[in-house]
Structure 1
């Protein structure tokens, strides 16, 4: 009840600001709805057909606001909640804005942002990930799929800083004092902490990023984990109607594993739409006492995906996608694979509308 009441209050306040707010303030409601029919089959499971929400882009709605303070300074906020269009369910339990809730200050010094944020190597307004042809979605072909990594997605209690651009390059840093909670009754050492540092290059023809991230997992109940580290490098180059893309990530951590993940792909303008093609390969090796899905010492898999997006209008597009993933050692068999998108195919047809 509290969550729905907070959303209602936010909408009410948005209406007041829009109607009576100062001339320097701007507040907008926005969103995205993605619905598709998804069929798939794993090597050890039955064929399935489902109405899928958010296959290529997470369905969400949000409120954005910004106030011009003058002298080059601005204060803004983003409140964004996910949902599933097939059943209308909320994106996060007991969270009014599970995707992002942030407040930021912009100026000649750069931008400082506070709140629940997407990590540097993920998405949202603070993410700087580049080079993943399917982004963090599209099933097993996505960069944040279960086949890719123990990725760091969104964290609570975070503060982020980005510098102004110097020669098309900006530096980004982020820290979370407690990825799930920073309870005042706990010592600092009892919270999970996230650390991120990266650099982003942006020009008209190309963009790329280098990101280092770490999670210390100090508050994993009943499970003792040492820190996990990510180093991610990726980018793209626009050459006429073709955009070649590439991304690589190295993961390591004591009592876990060492993993290399690479994806190459391209986006090509064909007619009024865009075709996408990507190939991903993963290889990992147990480090110390770490375990894999099947307690193997090594694991590897490959994935290929292809899709096409066609715009009906500036706000609506339709898409088709097909992907296949094949697991070798460590992902080759097991009952757990019956409930995952490993060792099988996915085919989706859907539509996305922005508002």
Structure 2
């Protein structure tokens, strides 16, 4: 399967630079039927009426940290985006000008935050050991010195500002560790959850710390040759048991975002039983993969040629997703992290 099969033209003006206000006023394109693709134009406030009593929405409670750091080494600008934690003070990162660094180098990122290069990998990957002020955690130092890691397609056009510190966190954000937001969750508000609860729709929570690898382009010609970066996730036994019980009672498991979906598919058996899980996952879902853990997906609109567009094509069929995205572009839906969303029900 070729990566070119997942290409499409997206006009630049369709890329959202700010979220909808209020968040739940974002548009919601519903797509029903794998290989059929019946489309409907709604908003997120219509979501309770598009689901069924007994359905369960699974959200990701990861919280985005200020994961972008900047420094000078001589005259060279060193741009760092953290992407995966190894220990309390060690992170793998993608680095601009990584060729200027070697193991043992020490870089000052700001007052009271320094990093030592421990190792280097391919494609600009650098492992750092960080040191903060006495009595200060790394998280506290990042809050002082770091910047929110907005997706490149937003940061290139307008930069990052103070509003993003709130805009780029979901209502469910509770556990520090993500360097990209689980953006489908950005549309949810207290009043939307109240309406969902009144409609008999419940919520469960999992954790997947989203890495910056989600923004890396697919450079391989063949889909099967692409290597996914690992991300850490967790679902406890009680949550897994409730999801299994809800499904056994006839409810549908609807993932809020591709991050929740990828975690659930990492811990499901061949027979569809969701199990307790804690650890790394580098699962890569593309057409030919049979999804077992979920019955539907709420997700934003993704980049052409991206692993996320491949994932939704695995769920609904590539022809349906081409039709869906053509409709979204024609009807002027807003794309990507701060954009509108879709409800995919195969």
Q: TM-score, normalised by structure 2?
A: 0.25
The answer to which structure, 1 or 2, has the higher relative contact order (CA under 8 A, 6+ apart) is 2
TM-score (norm 1): 0.25
- Structure with bigger strand share is 1
